[in-house]
Amino acid sequence: QQQVKQSPQSLIVQKGGISIINCAYENTAFDYFPWYQQFPGKGPALLIAIRPDVSEKKEGRFTISFNKSAKQFSLHIMDSQPGDSATYFCAASTGGGNKLTFGTGTQLKVEL
Amino acid sequence: EPEVTQTPSHQVTQMGQEVILRCVPISNHLYFYWYRQILGQKVEFLVSFYNNEISEKSEIFDDQFSVERPDGSNFTLKIRSTKLEDSAMYFCASSLNTDTQYFGPGTRLTVL
Instruction: Name the maximum alpha-carbon separation found in chain B.
Output: 39
Q: Is the previous residue joined to A8 through a cis bond, with omega within 30 degrees of 0?
A: yes
pLDDT in tens, A3-41: 999 999 999 999 999 999 999 999 999 999 999 999 988
In 3D space, the residue among A15, A20, A32 whose CA is nearest the CA of residue A102 turns out to be A32
In the predicted model, what is the mean pLDDT of chain B?
93
The verdict on a CB contact (< 8 Å) between B100 and A97 is no
Q: Confirm if A73 and A55 have CB atoms less than 8 A apart.
A: no
In the chain, the amino acid numbered B105 is P
pLDDT in tens, B49-102: 998 999 999 999 999 999 999 887 899 999 999 999 999 999 999 998 768 899
**Alpha carbon B4 to chain centroid distance?**
11
Whether B39 has a pLDDT exceeding 90, the answer reads no
**Alpha carbon A31 to chain centroid distance?**
15
| pLDDT score at B100 | 87
In 3D space, the residue among B48, B45, B63 whose CA is nearest the CA of residue A89 turns out to be B45
Whether A1 has a pLDDT exceeding 70, the answer reads no
The verdict on a CB contact (< 8 Å) between B48 and A97 is yes
Q: Which residue has the higher pLDDT, A94 or B22?
A: B22
B51, B90, B101, B108, best to mutate vs chain A, most A CBs in 10 Å? B101
Say whether residue B106 is in contact with chain A using an 8 A CB cutoff.
yes
| pLDDT score at B97 | 76
Query: Residue B11 burial by CB count (10 A; 0-12/13-18/19+): exposed, middle or buried?
Result: middle
Residues of A in contact with B43 (CB under 8 A): 36, 44, 89, 91, 100, 102
- How would residue B15 be classed by pLDDT, with cut points 50, 70 and 90? very high
Percentage of chain A modeled with pLDDT above 90: 88
Rg, C-alpha atoms of chain B: 13
